[in-house]
Structure 1
């Protein structure tokens, strides 16, 4: 039987139309979407064919020029069809998309096999011709392209997938959307590809972010869940009960030894744990046999006995939660090494030549759209969910490519994004408990909008990690490094649905294997400064197992400071909000009327300079800048203050409005001056903490979360206690002595 290899290249053609509430004019010219305003081009033709089909390495429409037929329909849509002899027909349908704006269209592609042979459709490409000058602004945030034109209008284009991965390729005159759509079509069968959104709007670069958010809302892709405050304020720690990756996951020794590290890690400021996969992956009694590591699961129904088994895993999770910390587990999906996966041979992914895929060297890979495999994963997740975890990191969420032998569908690439989305919801349902919505972290090369808008789903942040791994080089000039940092984070800003949370880390187990830890590549100073960047930008900072070695006190201080300043975990970000030094990465964060400034000196030089708050400085006639890391302070006058940073220093600064100020340079906090012994001292203690008052002077200590109770031992003596710690108060000689022992770092510093 003849089997044709088919690639579809989609290029825009559209109807003649006049916008109902704007002065842009759309015309269909030679199969392209052409638009203009007052004689100025917005979208135009290209020398390339407006649509093309690749069969056996021959571009069909380029070789056999075929004029399209145009069918204007009563609902305002237009169908444009290219029939190529007895091979096939390409049909583009442009539908108005008023949910976005009156000048918006959804462009859908359909291909029909008109031959008498089986055809393999392997890709589709949508093209848009731009008439704009290359000097104008373009924003390319991975999942969309928005660009200015020479007219009053700018253009946005994005994609609504039907289960296939896609990528934007912007150029000076063409913008392409490459869709990895793969179908095996029998004679007469059709394949419907996703929809490209194209819209015009009056506005420039400053409107790009709002326009992309409007697109997300118009297709129902917006964050609907209000994440709990503790999650936004979390510091995440990736750890394996076997050990870290440099030791081949074998130097910790299991669940019980790891549980003994929890207090130590809590003291570091860790509040959220990602415990690497725990399903059986080694064969007792030889710890070196069986699966290569915990990502080579052998049995999805058992927790590994070498690590301690189910009982000790439950104990680890119970202890984590008793300390007020939050545990996440992990699920490994590829499954070919497991006995359950081996039993589902009909769902092993095969390529177009019917060859089994074996990307990991330990067995075949499963099709995520398989109902049978989804049931295996459902039960595997329930096993760890019932041990008390609050969510999961999902390994290799994107799957392993098209399955050309799927028993379910001839849409071979549905095993990619389509199957991944089904599996994601399957995991969410199986990990849900009556007390809370599960937290899911799908591992993906890109933080795909399609993953993030259901439930509590965090972006894995792989692009951030890759930036630190691949785009920063030892010896790079600090000014250049800061420019690169701004370029990356500004381009990312607003690219995902509003409210999305993304992990921020320098290292994870994959990058450590590939490139080593950042401290090995850059040294301690720059590594600390770059982690300071992770603390400053929106997202959840993360450390990989033993990243704290050699930096414990630094990390403890910056974690404590970040918890105290809510704008860093909850607020909006402005990357141009402070003018300071080109060697210092700076951000301004704002939340509920409060302002914070984050500084990370990425140079080996001391910096001492004026810092000027731009937008946030308006109205700051008198204020004070307080670094919650070092305790340094500076007076702010009319939005300007002087600040000094040591080499590679990180400062997390709270702006205290209308605070008494003195001096012009940041200095250590003033010493405590006790009240006169003639003044009466009052002491109040309850489940929230303690408050001591002497005249106009007051001190307060918040006990933090936990069931605290106060017991008065005798006159002038009492104890505030819980599982989190113990605070003893003794009032004598005109003073109150406070002795506090915290088992985890939930308490705030004593503030005067």
Structure 2
């Protein structure tokens, strides 16, 4: 009998479907490609996989503009392919989670097309956020209902031919739903059931804090704040209580994790109360700089406020952490070394860890993509001033010495660097000193310790710019400083992120030590 829910200490691997593996040869990753690579994921040692959207979509925002929530885009396969993937994942001992996008649909969604054809005040328009314009034009002087801005740049409003405006917190091709409309709520409860009936183990909820907007849609100051009329409105929690009842009605343990950006760990904790979401992403860990002081603050704040914490270093929306950690250092190996050390520290903490595809290969951000290859709407809407997120979405290198590196037989939808031959999974699998081998060893060691460690940590005294903490018999030490430091007393070295200097821990290195 399962005593601890699987998700509490799971390692979940995010698959950006377009960029993982291409079985069809069209240059785009697909469900069959993922299915072919399940043995790789099982050997890596993860507990679950999370798929980014694979639903029918015009791909205005990489599939986060959904035109049909109950099907598979032909780019990625079919519902039969999805069912086969679920069955095979479970056969490999892997849980499978899917992305759900409830804040907005695609402008190609049948509901929105009907809304455009319907008159003001109609039932069809009430499913979305249609409003009349304001006399002063919000922030641009063009007549928008308020001054809200799109996360992707520019106004958050687009005008339709009859003069009304519709809200889109992201691209114009992503109109926001009206979550105060009971019809929208019932629709998504049914969408949840559709995928739960197909055997999924849970959902990652896109823009989970944005579904409800303040009554009257008042003007706002920029940024995420607890007083924002856009984000984290109190009424959003009733939605997730409804969702939790649906999840709990299915056999086994089905979970929901929210993409929630908040000002504090206390705000984050509101989403993971016992009758709401199971987990929420802890982006404060991802945003922390390479600093022992910053890391300790995030750990303390998180463990104090959140009962079931999560830890994540990269995802499909941010610069890969190998590159982030290397910025500002004159040592070209600083980024990879710090990335390994951060992973080891993260895996030692109570809670679950989320990995982003390719980090186990040590992939850096691709910063030199040609403008004509970029597809992120942020790049287009900023007139090229903001590079966008394509650099972390470049397809994975699997084998060979030149692009497409075994990704598929038909090239890749984003160009891969010519210098990735040493980073392929094939090359690294043959090298015990590689990042891939390190990830496998770290995940295996963590799995061996599972169930034997307490849910709390104790800080130990340590030199400046280092962190030493104990979790039961496990000691985790990380050195964010510039010089080597002595290891604390221990009985055994379990694993290190890099070579030790005798009995000292070098800079940019972490280690797991066993005591007692």
Query: Do the aligned residues in 1 keep the contact of 2:126 with 2:181 (CA within 8 Å)?
Result: no
Q: How big is the alpha-carbon RMSD for the aligned residues of Structure 1 and Structure 2?
A: 3.4
Aligned to 1:451: 271
Aligned to 1:25: none
Aligned pairs for 1:81-230 within 5 A: 228-230=4-6
Aligned pairs for 1:581-592 within 5 A: 581-590=463-472
Query: Quick check: 1:538 aligned with 2:333?
Result: no
Summarize the Cα distance change of 1:416–1:529 in structure 2 as closer, same or farther, 3 Å threshold: closer
Aligned to 1:461: 282
Query: Do the aligned residues in 2 keep the contact of 1:329 with 1:393 (CA within 8 Å)?
Result: yes
Query: Do the aligned residues in 2 keep the contact of 1:529 with 1:602 (CA within 8 Å)?
Result: no
Summarize the Cα distance change of 1:251–1:426 in structure 2 as closer, same or farther, 3 Å threshold: farther
Partner deviation per Cα, 1:349-393 (whole Å, 9 max, x = no partner)? 357944432221214211223211112212222222222111101
Whole-angstrom distance in 2 between the partners of 1:312 and 1:569: 39
Aligned length: 374
Aligned to 1:571: 455
Return the offset for 1:264.
0.9
Summarize the Cα distance change of 1:644–1:545 in structure 2 as closer, same or farther, 3 Å threshold: same
**Partner secondary structure for residue 274 of structure 2:** coil
Whole-angstrom distance in 2 between the partners of 1:252 and 1:528: 29
Summarize the Cα distance change of 1:487–1:336 in structure 2 as closer, same or farther, 3 Å threshold: closer
Query: Do the aligned residues in 1 keep the contact of 2:99 with 2:204 (CA within 8 Å)?
Result: yes
Query: Quick check: 1:420 aligned with 2:286?
Result: no
Whole-angstrom distance in 2 between the partners of 1:546 and 1:654: 29
Query: Quick check: 1:502 aligned with 2:309?
Result: yes
Query: Quick check: 1:386 aligned with 2:197?
Result: yes
Query: Quick check: 1:482 aligned with 2:298?
Result: no
Query: Do the aligned residues in 2 keep the contact of 1:368 with 1:419 (CA within 8 Å)?
Result: no
Return the offset for 1:342.
4.7
With normalisation by structure 2, the TM-score equals: 0.65
Whole-angstrom distance in 1 between the partners of 2:79 and 2:93: 21
Whole-angstrom distance in 2 between the partners of 1:251 and 1:454: 43
Note the residue ranges of structure 2 that are not aligned, 5 or more in a row. 115-123, 135-144, 146-164, 219-227, 328-333, 363-434
Return the offset for 1:328.
1.1
**Partner secondary structure for residue 474 of structure 2:** strand
Summarize the Cα distance change of 1:453–1:459 in structure 2 as closer, same or farther, 3 Å threshold: same
Query: Do the aligned residues in 2 keep the contact of 1:256 with 1:312 (CA within 8 Å)?
Result: yes
**Partner secondary structure for residue 392 of structure 1:** strand
Return the offset for 1:452.
0.7
Whole-angstrom distance in 2 between the partners of 1:523 and 1:357: 40
Query: Quick check: 1:280 aligned with 2:56?
Result: yes
Considering Cα pairs closer than 8 Å and 6+ residues apart, tell me whether 1 or 2 has the greater RCO.
2
Query: Do the aligned residues in 2 keep the contact of 1:300 with 1:376 (CA within 8 Å)?
Result: no
Larger Rg: 1
Whole-angstrom distance in 1 between the partners of 2:497 and 2:240: 45
Aligned pairs for 1:236-635 within 5 A: 236-243=12-19, 253-282=29-58, 290-337=59-106, 338-343=109-114, 344-349=124-129, 353=134, 354=145, 355-361=165-171, 362-399=173-210, 401-404=213-216, 417-432=233-248, 434-446=250-262, 448-455=268-275, 457-467=278-288, 471-472=289-290, 481-496=291-306, 500-512=307-319, 517-518=323-324, 521=327, 523-550=335-362, 551-566=435-450, 570-575=454-459, 578-590=460-472, 595-603=473-481, 605-609=483-487, 611=488, 625-629=491-495
Summarize the Cα distance change of 1:256–1:604 in structure 2 as closer, same or farther, 3 Å threshold: farther
Whole-angstrom distance in 2 between the partners of 1:517 and 1:375: 43
**Partner secondary structure for residue 356 of structure 1:** strand
Whole-angstrom distance in 1 between the partners of 2:66 and 2:97: 18
Whole-angstrom distance in 2 between the partners of 1:357 and 1:607: 54
Note the residue ranges of structure 1 that are not aligned, 5 or more in a row. 1-225, 283-289, 407-411, 473-480, 613-623, 633-641, 657-752
